A and B are shown apart, each in its own frame.
Chain A
């Protein structure tokens, strides 16, 4: 028993060693932490003066029109006097929450479908992968726009659902490929022969082996989700009852302040790009760690 524990511990230490060496992961995580701090700071900032600083309904009665940065409003205000800094902080909360939830959702669905399709094969494989292919070939943003137009995007849960709809197929394809190759391995055959049930094989034996690649997609899907949500909000298909970076840009664009108010236009877009970038960096770092073919000679 002790041997197995020691082996696991040294495996973890090995992985941690690789993680520490990767420039990509270090850079990505640092940026991510910055935004994490922003997200956590959001309610604290609002509490200073909820009437002015609430990102949805807070308005500064002393301000008319959009003004530039000041002590009271670190990033200035929008055209009706709402504080831009609060909006930015709230945006980082939304970006994290939505990004991660979409990612977790899509990865769980994608992995499950991939494992089932890969393991059981035949009719399940054909049906599930056909479905995945259809969703994969359709361009993401137009598809989401059309769905939004038909069903509306009144709540964050709907947004979460339709976004996940477009991210699971690629994950399922990749995991199915891995499952197909793992399926033929001796340890699976011996499990089958010993009478282990199919479900147990998938859960206890196959799933842990597809974990690395699932983790990679977990990371890069956050990037995709953040960018797609921002894109949808920017075009006007976001949830109007909430404030996200994409919506900040939309308001700026729609109210005609893109060139007049750089303090309004620059921060949200920059944040979207940076946060998406950070997650992708982590993904690239992970990929380098896991993919032996790319290792330096």
Chain B
């Protein structure tokens, strides 16, 4: 097992280096001044000088590459053109906001999806199954912004039940409320984006669980369990579902990658200050240091999530030996 883990870590580091190098090259192909990815006319001469030294912009490209990597390891991505703040601190804040939204959503979608998937696999061929499959598929392929806008229109604009976006109500926070009140306020803002997210993703988990269950149900040990006279409920939960869960575990962590992509659209619609929205705004504003940094951080997170998934899967499946 140890060997496998080390092998995977090496793989991840290599992948990461390749992606970082590609980003490095891409940003230097930018048609205008090659150093325009870190400097901007509105910076003072001193600021420009500092950045020049920090990133070795006068040096040959090979040297720049190593300086870039060194800076990266220290978390130095330069300064945002738009706000003048260090890129890393912006990203750290936004990343936390995204993680809050995404993790909650994925967990809830997972629980709902897997439960329904388990139930309908058991009822193969019934109308219930067809209904849920089509429902899940519909929400899976619904255009994310449209779903979000519809919810906002109905529940926030017309019924005035929820806020029109954002993560907090600044007016309330200025009054320095208690932690409980702060959490409630954030929760209140979290609900609509969360519901949108869950609706979009539950279908995926549901279908995975259903397919996995259907395959498991064909296995011999299910026939044995029936022959032993075990109750249907026991067979369903202890034998079939437990084994069907294996691919779901992998899917859970891998879906983090998809979730970040989906977060881009949801965060934009609901004005949620997360990393997805950051990348969109930064790209539109041509705030290259921020774009580069945000993308790098997203890549790290995704690679880590995949790594955890692999290890979890190897740990859970007793058939795999290292």
Residues of A in contact with B (beta carbons under 8 Å apart): 23, 27, 130, 133-134, 137-143, 145-150, 223, 227, 230-231, 234-237, 249, 253, 258-259, 262, 265-266, 268-270, 272-273, 276-277, 280-281, 284, 293-294, 296-297
* A281 to B215 CA separation, bound complex (whole angstroms): 21
Could you pull out 24 A-B pairs where Cβ atoms are within 8 angstroms?
Answer: A141-B262, A141-B264, A142-B260, A145-B280, A145-B283, A146-B279, A148-B283, A149-B291, A150-B30, A227-B143, A231-B264, A234-B265, A235-B265, A259-B157, A265-B153, A269-B145, A269-B146, A276-B141, A280-B137, A280-B140, A284-B137, A293-B215, A294-B211, A297-B124
Which B144-195 residues sit within 8 Å CB-CB of chain A? 144-147, 149-150, 152-153, 157
* A21 to B150 CA separation, bound complex (whole angstroms): 35
Contacts of A236 in B (CB 8 A): 280, 284
Max count, chain A CB within 10 A of own CB: residue among B140, B141, B260, B280: B141
Q: Tell me whether B264 and A235 are in contact (CB under 8 A).
A: yes
Contacts of B138 in A (CB 8 A): 273, 277
Total A-B residue pairs with C-beta atoms closer than 8 Å? 133
Interface presence of B231 (CB below 8 A): no
8 Å CB contact of B298 from A139, A147, A296? A139
Q: Is the interface of A mostly helix, strand, loop or mixed?
A: helix
Q: Tell me whether A269 and B143 are in contact (CB under 8 A).
A: yes
Q: Tell me whether B29 and A150 are in contact (CB under 8 A).
A: yes
Q: Which 6 A-B pairs have the closest CB atoms?
A: A269-B146, A149-B283, A141-B261, A139-B261, A272-B143, A273-B142
Max count, chain B CB within 10 A of own CB: residue among A23, A137, A236: A137
* A168 to B147 CA separation, bound complex (whole angstroms): 28
A231 and B153 in contact (CB under 8 A), knowing A269-B145, A293-B214? Answer: no
Least CB separation from A220: chain B residue:
B141
A139 and B265 in contact (CB under 8 A), knowing A272-B146, A276-B143? Answer: no
Q: Tell me whether A134 and B19 are in contact (CB under 8 A).
A: yes
Q: Tell me whether B19 and A150 are in contact (CB under 8 A).
A: no
Q: Mark B261-286, 1 if CB is under 8 A from A, else 0.
A: 11011001000000010011001101
* A138 to B18 CA separation, bound complex (whole angstroms): 12
Interface presence of B257 (CB below 8 A): yes
Contacts of B133 in A (CB 8 A): 284
Q: Tell me whether B15 and A134 are in contact (CB under 8 A).
A: yes
